[in-house]
Amino acid sequence: MKKFKCEEMMCGHCVSRIEKALTEAEIKHFIDLDSKTVIIEGDEQCVVRASEILDDLGYSLVEMG
């Protein structure tokens, strides 16, 4: 499990776009709009894939401690 900051995530529509894309890719995740965080569960391959998917949508992930 890794936790990331996603500063570009501003509203419920952003959350919906990210949620849909990660769900379709079968990547387990948790999104919190208030803290602008995305938690990815799985191995490093899942994390890399999630990062690529979000990048394609125009969002960047910055790993948090």
Chain centroid to CA 23: 10
pLDDT score of 65: 73
Q: Is 61 left (phi over 0), alpha (psi -120 to 50) or beta?
A: beta
Q: Please name every residue paired with 11 in a beta bridge, in sequence order, or none if there are none.
A: none
pLDDT score of 5: 98
- The domain segmentation of the chain, as residue ranges, is 2-63
pLDDT in tens, 6-65: 999 999 999 999 999 999 999 999 999 999 999 999 999 999 999 999 999 999 999 997
Residue 18 phi, psi (nearest 5): -65, -45
pLDDT in tens, 37-50: 999 999 999 999 99
Element (H, E) at 37: strand 37-40
Q: State in words which class domain 2-63 has.
A: alpha beta
pLDDT score of 49: 98
